[in-house]
Amino acid sequence: MPAQAPASIYEISATSIDGRSVSLDTYRGKVLLIVNTASQCGLTPHYKGLQALYEQYANQGFVVLGFPCNQFGWQEPGSSEQIQAFCEKNYGVSFPLFEKIEVNGSNAHPLYQYLKSAAPGTSGTPEIEWNFAKFLVDRNGMVVKRYAPTTNPEDIAQDVQALL
């Protein structure tokens, strides 16, 4: 029998890229943009826009959370250390990154089980379509919107502003 879905995003924990367990309750009261990422994808330059959004709105209570995933074309093959070094060196990423997870299938991380049930995809299916799918979560932990992988981070700025 599948595990019961959490009632709130704040009941979920994830492992940071440096191996620490992090309760998402840490981010209670903040606006979140949660993204499944990959270092060898055509959309990898989205890291630059995600970092710019983070820098622009962090002091107002906005956080980007990056979750590397290797389920789409094996575009995130590296270790946590390699992923973190790549993101810092190439895109100056300073927003929180987490250990590699699965976002689809029977081993999907509980966070993605929750996000997909709260905001089905643009294709009408709850499955994540590709790297860099984005979920906007309000200060109360409610999923407000799901964006297609190809949605540029700068195109989300207005929605972020509205929640801040």
Tell me the catalytic residues: 41
Contacts of 157 (CB under 8 A, 6+ apart): 53, 56
SS3 label, residue 109: coil
Residue 138: how many CB atoms within 10 A of its CB?
A: 15
Dihedrals φ, ψ of 75, to 5°? -95, 10
| Alpha-helical runs (H) found in the chain | 46-57, 80-91, 110-118, 157-163
SS3 label, residue 99: coil
Query: Would the CA dihedral through 87, 129, 139, 162 be positive or negative?
Result: positive
Q: Of 4, 3, 5, 66, whose CA–CA distance to 38 is shortest?
A: 66
